[in-house]
Amino acid sequence: MILLTKNEDLKAYRRSLKGTVGFVPTMGGIHEGHLSLVKQALSQTDHVIVSIFVNPAQFAPHEDFNSYPRPFEKDQALMTAAGASAIFYPTSEMIYPDGKANGTQVYVPKISKKLCGITRPHFFQGVCTVVARLFNLVEPDHAFFGEKDFQQLQIIKQMVRDLFMNVEVIGCPIVRESDGLAMSSRNIYLSPAERHEATQIFQGFNHVLSLFKRGKNNTTFLTEQLKAYLASTSSFRLDYAEILNTKTFKKSKLVTPGDRLFFAGFLGKTRLIDNIALE
């Protein structure tokens, strides 16, 4: 496993590679969810480059940029064991030589304004800007993103289409803990009591799925059921609970094939997101 910290070194390494290159961008705090992307990448490409970069451009000033987990040595060991060919671990100055707000910005309209884009208005611009920069540095054939961040995945796909980028974006399924909680680097913020309550997201999803399977298909009814379930079983402060089309991120009156249930909420200071297909 090769560790690269400079753009020039990454580019030289990329030029030296023969065969296809898979890319897995992460912010570190590596868990099984990230490792599943590496596994998928290894099954489809000859070389897998992982980036570990806590992107300052996607955090608002009041958010957790400073406290975000940065266990680099552990992350490196996990990625080495998983079979990644190289880790790109740049500083902020490498990615944003003119400062995070002064260089070119990439913004995908419309769907960036839905769901997470309401509470975090600059989030997806920060994500697209860093992913575009990383794509240009890594020049991957395929890039792997988790469905855990389903809206992000769709936004990146649109960015790639709109800008004619030469990379195929591949979505990978959500990896969950045995009790159903979607894996996330932020789960370590949870107190034991909050960690226990967090399982109610998946329980709530299953409650909605069972209603849906019994023929209830009014989207407002189903999302109200999730809200009521979480209100009665946990102290979640709801950000959103919505059933939306996964291409347009628009809501229909009745569930239509391919719709997903999206959730975001706070337990204490920790914001958790999750989603599930209604099928």
Amino acid, res. 265: G
* Closest to ligand AMP by CB, 221 or 240: 240
The residue annotated as part of the active site, out of 31, 34, 47, 207, is 34
User: In this structure, what DSSP letter does residue 182 have?
Assistant: B
Residues binding ligand AMP: number (CB under 6 A): 17
Q: How far is the CB of 172 from ligand AMP (least distance, A)?
A: 6
From the list 32-40, 112-120, 231-239, 263-271, the region that binds ligand AMP by CB under 6 A is 32-40
From the list 98-106, 174-182, 223-231, 253-261, the region that binds ligand AMP by CB under 6 A is 174-182
111 is an interface residue for ligand AMP by CB under 6 A: no
Binding residue for ligand AMP, selected from 51, 112, 129, 184, defined by CB under 6 A: 184
Closest CA to 46 of 79, 65, 7, 18: 18
* Closest to ligand AMP by CB, 155 or 255: 155
3-class secondary-structure state, position 1: coil
* Closest to ligand AMP by CB, 82 or 255: 82
Closest CA to 145 of 23, 275, 1, 279: 23
Binding residue for ligand AMP, selected from 167, 183, 201, 255, defined by CB under 6 A: 183
* Closest to ligand AMP by CB, 91 or 256: 91
What's the CA gap between 164 and 182, in Å, rounded? Answer: 32
Q: How far is the CB of 230 from ligand AMP (least distance, A)?
A: 19
151 is an interface residue for ligand AMP by CB under 6 A: no
Note if 34 is an active site residue: yes
Beta bridge partners of 182: 176
Lookup result for tokens 């570190």: 28
What's the CA gap between 47 and 106, in Å, rounded? Answer: 27
**Region of residue 235 (left: phi > 0; alpha: psi -120 to 50; beta: else):** alpha
What's the CA gap between 175 and 177, in Å, rounded? Answer: 7
- The side-by-side arrangement of strands in the sheet containing 142-146 is 2-4, 86-88, 47-52, 21-26, 142-146, 168-172
What's the CA gap between 202 and 213, in Å, rounded? Answer: 16
* Closest to ligand AMP by CB, 32 or 279: 32
What's the CA gap between 252 and 179, in Å, rounded? Answer: 31
225 is an interface residue for ligand AMP by CB under 6 A: no
Binding residue for ligand AMP, selected from 10, 21, 37, 261, defined by CB under 6 A: 37
27 is an interface residue for ligand AMP by CB under 6 A: yes
Query: Which residues are catalytically annotated?
Result: 34
Residues that bind ligand AMP (CB under 6 A): 26-27, 33-34, 36-37, 145-146, 148-149, 172, 174-175, 182-185
